[in-house]
């Protein structure tokens, strides 16, 4: 990995949790990549050569049915990694993964990641912890898609995007959102229209501006809050791991 990128590893939360020895070892195999919007990173039934750590990009895991309809099962930002199912012994994938928001990230050859994962250590610990968070997101998305209105699902989706991007301006078409939520475009048009009428968002072709985040949070279903709580738990666990070496050094010096 080029030295000019080494200092940026902490911009992905999983990589940031690693102690210096593991981080430096992984840095030798991590490749900095730009991720253009719409790029297909993993395909159903494929044996991917790389796993990905997003930094400023957002990736979408989704299923495509035989009739061409699709639905997102999870999204991955700088809190996670694409390809964790490969660490569980699965040689092939059961879903597709594309770039939902263009940006920067890192990739690593799957064979090398498997080797590092099975060495144990902090990397294995944080990836297993992240799998719990990803499973929560997948299961809660299934519940949300079955039981809640398109308007509530749209609020959930927008809030999760805002959490990753930290910006109220989203470049996103209604067609893409409809595809991610597995609903008709007309349903998204109507739901976005109601949110715009309530002054929560402003929509123009290919662009959504969030005007009232707190309004979205009041309007969203419980699923967003379940996911948000799990993401926050993951962040706290990772922060404790980052602080542990410093506490250990302090204890040794004090004694």
Residues 192-201: contacts with CB within 8 Å, 24+ apart? Answer: 192/154, 194/151, 195/151, 195/154, 195/155, 195/219, 201/158
Give the highest mean pLDDT range of 6-15, 106-115, 164-173.
Answer: 106-115
For 204-234, what is each residue's pLDDT tens digit? 888 899 999 999 999 999 999 999 999 999 9
- Where does the pLDDT of residue 3 fall: very low under 50, low under 70, confident under 90, or very high at 90 and above? very low
Q: State the Cα angle at 110 between 108 and 114, rounded to 5°.
A: 110
Q: Which of 161, 154, 165, 228 is nearest to 198 (CA)?
A: 154
Instruction: Name which residue leads in pLDDT, 174 or 144.
Output: 144
Q: Among candidates 50, 56, 236, 232, which has minimal Cα distance to 137?
A: 232
Residue 141: per-residue pLDDT: 96
Q: The whole model's pTM is what? A: 0.89
CB atoms within 10 A of CB 156: 27
How many beta carbons lie within 10 A of that of residue 85, not counting itself? 17
Q: Per-residue pLDDT tens for 92-133?
A: 788 999 999 999 999 999 999 999 999 999 999 999 999 999
Per-domain residue ranges of the chain: 1-120, 144-242
Find out if CATH 1.10.10.10 is the number for domain 144-242: yes
1-120: CATH number: 2.60.120.10
């Amino acid at each position: 990995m080029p030295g000019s990128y080494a200092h940026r590893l902490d911009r992905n939360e999983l990589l940031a949790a690693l102690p210096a020895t593991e981080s430096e070892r992984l840095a030798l195999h991590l490749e900095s990549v730009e991720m253009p919007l719409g790029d297909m990173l993993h395909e159903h039934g494929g044996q991917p050569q790389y796993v990905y750590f997003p930094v400023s990009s957002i990736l979408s895991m989704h299923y495509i049915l035989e009739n061409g309809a699709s639905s997102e099962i999870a999204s991955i930002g700088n809190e996670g990694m694409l390809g964790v199912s490969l660490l569980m012994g699965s040689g092939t994938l059961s879903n597709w993964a594309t770039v939902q928001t263009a940006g920067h990230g890192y990739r690593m050859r799957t064979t090398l990641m498997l080797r590092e994962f099975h060495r144990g250590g902090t990397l294995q610990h944080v990836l297993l912890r992240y799998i719990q968070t990803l499973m929560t997101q997948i299961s809660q998305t299934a519940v949300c898609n079955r039981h809640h209105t398109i308007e509530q699902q749209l609020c959930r989706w927008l809030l999760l995007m805002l959490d990753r991007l930290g910006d109220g301006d989203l470049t996103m078409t209604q067609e893409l959102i409809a595809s991610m939520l597995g609903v008709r475009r007309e349903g998204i048009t109507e739901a976005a229209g109601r949110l715009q009428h309530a002054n929560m968002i402003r929509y123009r072709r290919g662009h959504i501006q969030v005007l009232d985040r707190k309004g979205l949070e009041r309007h969203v279903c419980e699923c967003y809050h379940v996911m948000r709580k799990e993401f926050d738990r993951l962040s706290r666990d990772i922060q404790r791991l980052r602080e542990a070496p410093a506490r250990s050094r302090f204890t040794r010096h004090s004694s």
